[in-house]
């Protein structure tokens, strides 16, 4: 039994506008619907817990999608708080040892092949796994005046994507530990790494983009249309 937790309580400040980006229309549906349907499409995924903002007026109110349950809880001030709220709100039938997928509401272009590979590799791994993509650009370190000071080697550097797959209990404890240490974990893997654990990097598609700015929305529309959605 694998459940998904989808943090969807962000305000989309970098995107701008009144409606949070996860509720904007993308290829004829709310953007978040693509993200939810993508995680629910795999047979191993039994349902999803969506962390939404308190009194969120935009949440469409789904109770099920793709024939599977959609539950909601109230998210928190940072992404990690929302993920933690989602983990804690999962049904009691999801045991501490069960795998949980965490997927950003703002990633509507997740491909079924990537999800299948992540589940297969992650469930066979002692720690868990995340989708990630190798860094391709040349990396510059800036000085305080915004000038290029040096070039950083990009060998061994990856961009973390979602979904990320960890056991319910281990991830909850790792996120709580980061929170209590005052560390803002920007993804799940970061919370585990600081405990000395080494999640498996599963190379994912470059087009699993996180919609962050209006330009990303146009790109996502193109990616989904190419996928026939
Ligand atoms: N998220 C969340 N709770 C928060 C902050 C973010 O559930 N307090 C979610 C967002 O809704 C999104 C995902 O985490 O699905 C990734 O975050 P990001 O892309 O940073 O979205 P926002 O925080 O909404 O955008 P911004 O940082 O530009 O304000
Ligand atoms: Mg954010």
Number of domains in the chain: 1
Residue 165 contacts residue 129 (beta carbons within 8 Å): yes
Q: How far is the CA of 13 from the centre of ligand 2 (A)?
A: 7
CB 207 within 8 A of CB 193: no
Q: Is residue 38 within 8 Å of 137, Cβ to Cβ?
A: no
Grade residue 71 by pLDDT with cuts at 50, 70 and 90. Answer: very high
Residue minimizing CA distance to atom 25 of ligand 1: 12
pTM flag (> 0.90):
yes
The parent domain of residue 190 ranges over 2-226
Residues having CB within 6 Å of any atom of ligand 1: 7-15, 22, 51, 75-79, 82, 104-106, 210, 212
Q: How far apart are CA 220 and CA 151, in angstroms?
A: 31
Measure Cα distances from 17 to 11, 22, 28, 164 in Å. 10, 12, 19, 29
The pLDDT tens digits for 36-45 are: 999 999 999 9
Q: CATH number, domain at 112?
A: 3.90.550.10
pLDDT at site 1: 82
Instruction: Tell me which residue of 11, 88, 17, 12 sits closest to 56, measured CA to CA.
Output: 11
ipTM above 0.90, yes or no: yes
Q: What digits encode the pLDDT tens for the residues 72-129?
A: 999 999 999 999 999 999 999 999 999 999 999 999 999 999 999 999 999 999 999 9
Q: How far is the CA of 210 from the centre of ligand 2 (A)?
A: 11
């Amino acid at each position: 039994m694998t459940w998904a937790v989808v943090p969807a309580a962000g305000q989309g400040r970098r995107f701008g506008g009144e409606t949070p980006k996860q509720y904007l229309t993308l290829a004829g549906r709310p953007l978040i619907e693509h993200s939810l349907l993508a995680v629910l499409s795999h047979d191993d995924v039994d349902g999803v817990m969506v962390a939404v903002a308190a009194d969120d007026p935009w949440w469409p109110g789904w109770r099920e999608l793709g024939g599977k349950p959609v539950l909601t809880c109230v998210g928190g001030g940072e992404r990690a708080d929302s993920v933690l709220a989602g983990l804690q709100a999962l049904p009691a039938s999801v045991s501490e040892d069960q795998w949980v997928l965490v997927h950003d509401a703002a990633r509507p272009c997740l491909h079924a092949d990537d999800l299948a590979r992540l589940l297969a590799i992650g469930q066979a791994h002692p720690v868990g796994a995340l989708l990630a993509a190798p860094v391709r650009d040349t990396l510059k370190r800036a000085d305080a005046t915004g000038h290029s000071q040096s070039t950083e080697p990009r060998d061994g550097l990856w961009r973390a994507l979602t979904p990320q797959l960890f056991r319910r209990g281990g991830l909850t404890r790792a996120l709580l530990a980061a929170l209590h240490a005052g560390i803002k974990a920007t993804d799940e893997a970061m919370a585990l790494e600081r405990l000395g654990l080494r999640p498996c990097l599963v190379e994912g598609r470059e087009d699993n983009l996180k919609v962050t700015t209006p330009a990303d929305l146009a790109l996502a529309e193109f990616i989904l249309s190419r996928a026939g959605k």
